[in-house]
A = this chain, B = another copy of it.
Amino acid sequence: MSVPDYLPPERHRLVRKLESIAPLSDTEQQALLALPVTVQIMDANMAIVRDGQRSQTCSLILDGFVCRSKSLPHGRRQIMSFHTPGDIADLQGLTLNVADHSVSTLVPTRVGLIPHESLHELMRRYPGVAAAFWRDTLVDGAIFRAWLINIGRRTVQQRIAHLLCEMTMRCEAVGLSHNSGYELPLRQSDIADALGLSPVQVNRVLRELGARGLITSQDSTVAALDWEGLKQAGEFDPTYLHLSREEAA
């Protein structure tokens, strides 16, 4: 399953991602690109990290789409975040020994495994990189808080609109959008598990939003159509993403 890695271009995505939230010097960027990475190719719906597991590596998403989730009794499931290429979905595993949730692929995905050892060494040598990782963790937390607001206090329409706005903007920030927008590879049941809803309800509201011309959804994908309309429908304010450009203001 694991093949050696000959500097694939996707490794640059990590730099791009960190740069979107924190400034990095040239040497720091070079050091990040020099990290040893073992590429692992995975099918859709596979576990990268299992709830309760300990790991010796971090998983950099090179290509594909993954989520963090936790399964509960009676077949319930909660998805807590989505991650795109450039994200390290299990950065917390570097410091927190036991995983308190699972990380799994939603589509065929290539993952770059980086030894904890190498990351610790890198941070020891480059405090700026350590700061960037901390900042990434902080933004992660800010996104969780935004999701709490979303699930706790918004209507179903708002929740779905907000989720789409967030993912669209995050993809844009790291240069993933093709032409117009980004097609999220999400089944309706994935959206349901992310937003605390039933798949049936998601289906109905998805087509309501489609009828209003705000989104398209087909073949297990969703995408924003009317950005301004969607922002308004989801009460979306990107402050919480703490993107470099915004902070500079």
Contacts and interface: CB of A to CB of B under 8 A. Distances in A.
A135 interface: yes
Interface string A95-112: 111101100000000000
Contacts of A73: 235
Copies per complex of this chain: 2
Interface residues of A, number: 48
A147 B124 CA distance: 33
A247 interface: yes
Given A77-B153, A151-B152, A100 B142 contact: yes
A80 B152 CA distance: 10
Interface in A82-102: 92, 95-98, 100-101
Interface of A: 52, 68, 70, 72-73, 76-78, 80, 92, 95-98, 100-101, 124, 127, 130-131, 133-135, 137-142, 144-149, 151-154, 193, 195-196, 235, 239-240, 242, 246-247
